[in-house]
């Protein structure tokens, strides 16, 4: 027997007790970096995830904007952009499902599961990497929005607060889609399974049109579902008007989604791997 084979593997002392928290953070950061490296090696993922919201901005701004703007008190592009930001982070969160399903299908999650590492680090690394990607996409789409006429009615700080809220919402949804990806275990199926979750959130909402223009039976859902609440909060922060209630409701939705989805995703990961 070789000397290397005779050395047993032990968990370092600093990972026990309080050090276990530091170890979980270290594991999560390592996997965050691993996912960003993977994104850098497949830049087409970032290109297409950015191209889609840009197309939506141009489509709604110049094709549908003339008709929709007649029902609004502000320029349609100013009304539109907070909805585009929320739609964008939802689409970005869907990539969490696809990425985890690909890792599960390739056997990568089984390798992670066999290592002496935090069980939540794999999911935290993936969701944080997707949050980082969403951050850069928000910057690019903001630039496109300003080019086509988007203007801030409050202040730079209000705009930044609105974008932070949108990113928090996208991060919370990443845990929902993480559960979806781990449940199906196949990238193509994960993308198809994510659509029934994504479609009602994005299109039955106030992201693109005012809720008052919808049928009466749909308005209650469209006004109170989480994406509409986050859109209303970000609009208030960017365009002005009553803000505190919308922001508190949006934060409550984000906290509730995280409180439910994160434990479910961790439990599903333990079973899947």
Structure tokens at 94: 């869907």
What CA–CA distance (Å, rounded) separates 80 from 93? 20
Burial of 186 (0-12, 13-18, 19+ CB in 10 A): middle
Residues making up the chain, counted from first to last: 273
pLDDT for res 196: 86
pTM of the model: 0.85
pLDDT for res 33: 82
pLDDT at 5 over 50: no
Average pLDDT, the chain: 83
pLDDT at 10 over 60: no
pLDDT for res 71: 65
Among the ranges 5-9, 58-62, 122-126, 259-263, which has the highest mean pLDDT value?
Answer: 259-263
Give the model's confidence band at 27: pLDDT under 50 very low, under 70 low, under 90 confident, else very high. Answer: confident
Tens of pLDDT, residue by residue over 198-248, are 888 898 898 888 888 889 889 999 999 999 999 999 999 999 888 999 999
Name residues whose C-beta falls within 8 Å of residue 32's C-beta, 6 or more positions apart in sequence: 124, 125, 128, 129, 132
Tens of pLDDT, residue by residue over 134-191, are 998 899 999 999 999 999 999 999 999 999 999 999 999 999 999 999 888 888 888 8
Q: CB–CB of 269/186 below 8 Å? A: no
**Average of pLDDT values for 70-95?**
87
pLDDT at 77 over 80: yes
pLDDT for res 23: 65
């Amino acid at each position: 027997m070789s000397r290397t084979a005779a050395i047993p593997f032990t968990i370092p002392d600093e990972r026990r007790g309080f050090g276990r928290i530091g170890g979980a953070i270290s594991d999560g950061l390592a996997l965050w970096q691993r996912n960003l490296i993977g994104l850098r090696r497949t830049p087409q993922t970032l290109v297409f995830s950015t191209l889609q919201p840009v197309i939506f901005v141009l489509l709604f701004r110049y094709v549908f904007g003339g008709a929709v703007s007649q029902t609004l008190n502000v320029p349609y592009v100013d009304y539109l952009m907070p909805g585009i930001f929320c739609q964008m982070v939802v689409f970005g969160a869907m990539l969490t499902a696809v990425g985890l399903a690909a890792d599960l299908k390739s056997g990568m999650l089984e390798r992670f599961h066999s290592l002496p590492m935090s069980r939540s680090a794999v999911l935290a690394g993936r969701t944080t990497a997707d949050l980082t990607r969403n951050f850069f996409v928000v910057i690019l789409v903001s630039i496109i929005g300003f080019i086509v006429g988007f203007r801030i009615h409050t202040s730079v700080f209000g705009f930044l607060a609105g974008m932070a809220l949108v990113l928090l919402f996208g991060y919370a949804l990443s845990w929902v889609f993480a559960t979806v990806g781990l449940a199906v275990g196949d990238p193509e199926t994960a993308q198809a399974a994510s659509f029934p979750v994504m479609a009602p959130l994005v299109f039955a909402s106030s992201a693109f049109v005012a809720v008052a223009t919808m049928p009466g039976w749909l308005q209650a859902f469209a006004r109170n579902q989480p994406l509409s609440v986050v859109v209303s909060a970000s609009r208030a922060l960017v365009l002005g008007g009553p803000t505190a209630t919308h922001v508190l409701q949006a934060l409550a939705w984000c906290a509730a989604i995280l409180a439910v989805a994160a434990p479910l995703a961790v439990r599903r990961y333990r079973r899947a791997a």
